[in-house]
């Protein structure tokens, strides 16, 4: 405190010798200066109390981490899940008991009938080996039916019927990248045409580790490989006019490179087949399928979307001639969580979860391995241009953070959606067709994180360089 000349006290407003408080810059007389100091001491004690309370909380959490609120939420989920399981188990016990009782009653009737036959033979005392074998076989069948009732069995579904929970790191999710808004043409961009420097409404792309771009050049009925920074491409499949010969293609929509044998796999949609090209040798992997999207997972399984059957099928490597298995959809056309309306591009992550551009429903769905229905990950709020909407989405890719990138075809933009968010954000485009892209289709990243967009009606592959 600093003593000053006579002036008014801040508290009693009397003229008196006063002292200035350096903290609040107010002047106090001797009496009220003491009160002011006592008030400051009380405030200090409150801070000390809060500090001690906080220190106690830290010690409690260190000693008892299981008391944390997040742990309590997991405990609550566990209790509720156990209750659901117990309730379900009791329900099925009652069903099994009732079915077993019916089975036993039926067996008992057959047993009584068999007993009558045995008694009749004993009474008549006139029987042979054929009759004895008949009785023996009947008894054997009844015994097997008792040991293994045919009218009931237990089937375990791979998809759990309880609600799942997952852990999301907010720190991890906050690290988002940005890209330059002015694109560079990496392939095409010389107008519509069939010259080696041109493309005609390209559809899907695949980028290898050397940044070479493999392009499904849809309306030119060919697959073109465009070396990094090349001025023109090289035809590696098709290019022999539209047709259904083995060396021809018809409106190819997608292409992927099988890293294991260096072959290319093509969704030859117009010919309703998936075909493999290896050193100019062709082999049909599957046919009679209205294919559009393609993907290969880390185990070499091939995934194909069917826009007519509204499903995604998976084939085991080296066994492509069979029908495969349905891993998403397959429940006719519709907008329920177990249905699709024109499934388009697909992406498969490390856990073999399948992400599908459900184009006609204006949403992106995620189907976990073995799931009976999907989850809406983007869109799903009708067609539109708001941040919670999509318009006929096409290409879909997922980065290592689980963020979903969607080619929002009808809105001329690429969007990013983070799991759990109600709306997405615009990554590139969204300012009109002439600014960035004209009906974007396929999407891909290179190893440096640059974003490649199939700018279909500008007949080019556009590259957006990463900023951070």
Tens of pLDDT, residue by residue over 313-339, are 998 866 656 788 999 999 999 999 999
For the beta sheet containing 252-258, the strands, ordered from the edge strand earlier in sequence to the opposite edge, are 252-258, 263-268, 273-278, 281-287
**Given a cut of 90, is residue 376 above it in pLDDT?**
yes
**Given a cut of 80, is residue 155 above it in pLDDT?**
no
Provide the 10 A C-beta neighbour count for residue 60.
Answer: 12
β 440-445/451-455 pair status: antiparallel
Residues 417-434, mean pLDDT to the nearest whole number: 80
User: Token pair 């074998």 is at which residue?
Assistant: 133
Structure tokens at 163: 């609600």
Instruction: Give me the percent of the chain exceeding a pLDDT of 90.
Output: 46
- Position 432 scores a pLDDT of 55
Q: Whole-model pTM?
A: 0.66
Assign 172 a pLDDT band (cuts: 50, 70, 90). very low
Long-range contacts of residues 13-18, Cβ cutoff 8 Å, at least 24 apart: none
Q: Which of 288-302, 317-331, 382-396 has the lowest mean pLDDT?
A: 317-331
In sequence order, which residues have a C-beta less than 8 Å from that of residue 419 and are 6 or more positions away? 168, 377, 402, 403, 404
- Position 430 scores a pLDDT of 79
Of the candidates 144, 248, 240, 229, the one whose C-alpha atom is nearest the C-alpha of residue 187 is 229
Map residue 87 onto helix, strand or coil.
helix
Whether the CB-CB separation of 240 and 253 falls below 8 Å is answered with no
Q: List the Cα angle 26/41/29 in 5-degree steps.
A: 35
Structure tokens at 39: 């008030």
Assign 124 a pLDDT band (cuts: 50, 70, 90). confident
**Given a cut of 70, is residue 150 above it in pLDDT?**
no
Looking at every residue in the chain, the average pLDDT score rounds to 86
pLDDT tens readout for residues 243-273: 999 999 999 999 998 877 778 999 999 999 9
Cα torsion 244, 245, 251, 254: sign: positive
End-to-end CA, the chain: 53
Q: How far apart are CA 444 and CA 405, in angstroms?
A: 9
Q: How far apart are CA 435 and CA 441, in angstroms?
A: 16
**Given a cut of 70, is residue 437 above it in pLDDT?**
no
Assign 220 a pLDDT band (cuts: 50, 70, 90). very high
- Position 224 scores a pLDDT of 96
Provide the 10 A C-beta neighbour count for residue 280.
Answer: 8
Structure tokens at 220: 């030119």
**Given a cut of 50, is residue 123 above it in pLDDT?**
yes
- Position 170 scores a pLDDT of 47
- Position 435 scores a pLDDT of 47
**Given a cut of 60, is residue 168 above it in pLDDT?**
no
- Position 434 scores a pLDDT of 46
Residues 208-212, mean pLDDT to the nearest whole number: 90
pLDDT tens readout for residues 9-68: 888 888 888 888 888 888 888 888 888 889 888 888 888 888 888 888 788 777 777 667
Instruction: Give me the percent of the chain exceeding a pLDDT of 70.
Output: 89
**Given a cut of 50, is residue 433 above it in pLDDT?**
no
Q: How far apart are CA 354 and CA 368, in angstroms?
A: 6
Whether the CB-CB separation of 398 and 430 falls below 8 Å is answered with no
- Position 404 scores a pLDDT of 95
């Amino acid at each position: 405190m600093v003593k000053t000349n006579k002036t008014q006290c801040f508290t009693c407003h009397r003229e008196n010798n006063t002292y200035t408080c350096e903290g609040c810059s107010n002047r106090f007389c001797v009496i009220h200066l003491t009160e002011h100091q006592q008030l400051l001491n009380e405030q200090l004690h409150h801070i000390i109390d809060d500090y001690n309370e906080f220190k106690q909380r830290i010690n409690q959490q260190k000693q008892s981490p299981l008391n944390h609120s997040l742990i309590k939420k997991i405990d609550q989920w566990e209790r509720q899940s156990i209750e659901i399981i117990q309730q379900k188990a009791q329900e099925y016990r009652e069903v099994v008991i009732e079915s077993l009782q019916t089975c036993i009653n039926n067996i008992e009737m057959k047993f009584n009938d068999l007993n009558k036959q045995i008694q009749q033979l004993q009474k008549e005392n006139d029987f042979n080996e054929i009759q004895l074998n008949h009785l023996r076989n009947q008894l054997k069948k009844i015994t097997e039916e008792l040991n293994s009732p045919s009218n009931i069995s237990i089937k375990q579904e791979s998809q759990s019927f309880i609600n799942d929970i997952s852990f999301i790191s907010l720190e991890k999710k906050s690290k988002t990248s940005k890209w330059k808004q002015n694109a560079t043409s990496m392939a095409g961009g010389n107008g519509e045409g069939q010259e080696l420097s041109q493309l005609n409404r390209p559809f899907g792309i695949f980028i290898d580790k050397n940044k070479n771009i493999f392009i499904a050049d849809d309306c030119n009925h060919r697959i073109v490989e465009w070396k990094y920074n090349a001025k023109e491409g090289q035809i590696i499949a098709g290019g022999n006019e539209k047709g259904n010969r083995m060396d021809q293609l018809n409106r190819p929509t997608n292409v992927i490179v099988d890293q294991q044998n260096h072959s290319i796999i093509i969704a030859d949609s117009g010919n309703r087949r998936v075909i493999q090209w290896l050193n100019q040798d062709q082999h049909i992997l599957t046919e009679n399928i209205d294919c559009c999207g393609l993907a290969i997972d880390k185990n070499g399984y091939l995934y194909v979307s069917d826009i007519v059957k509204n499903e995604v099928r998976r084939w085991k490597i080296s066994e492509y001639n069979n029908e495969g298995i349905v891993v998403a959809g397959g429940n006719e056309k519709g907008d329920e969580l177990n249905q699709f309306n024109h499934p388009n591009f697909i992406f498969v992550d490390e856990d073999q979860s399948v992400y599908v551009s459900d184009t006609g429903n204006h949403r992106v769905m995620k189907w976990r391995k073995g799931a009976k229905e999907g989850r809406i990950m983007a869109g799903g709020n009708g067609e539109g241009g708001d941040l919670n909407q999509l318009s006929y989405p096409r290409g879909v890719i997922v980065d290592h953070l689980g963020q979903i990138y969607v080619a929002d075809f009808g809105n001329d933009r690429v969007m990013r959606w983070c799991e759990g968010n109600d709306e997405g954000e615009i990554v590139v485009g969204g300012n009109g067709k002439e600014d960035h892209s004209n009906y974007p289709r396929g999407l891909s990243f290179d190893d440096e994180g640059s974003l490649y967009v199939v700018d279909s009606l500008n007949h080019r592959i556009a590259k957006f360089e990463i900023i951070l």
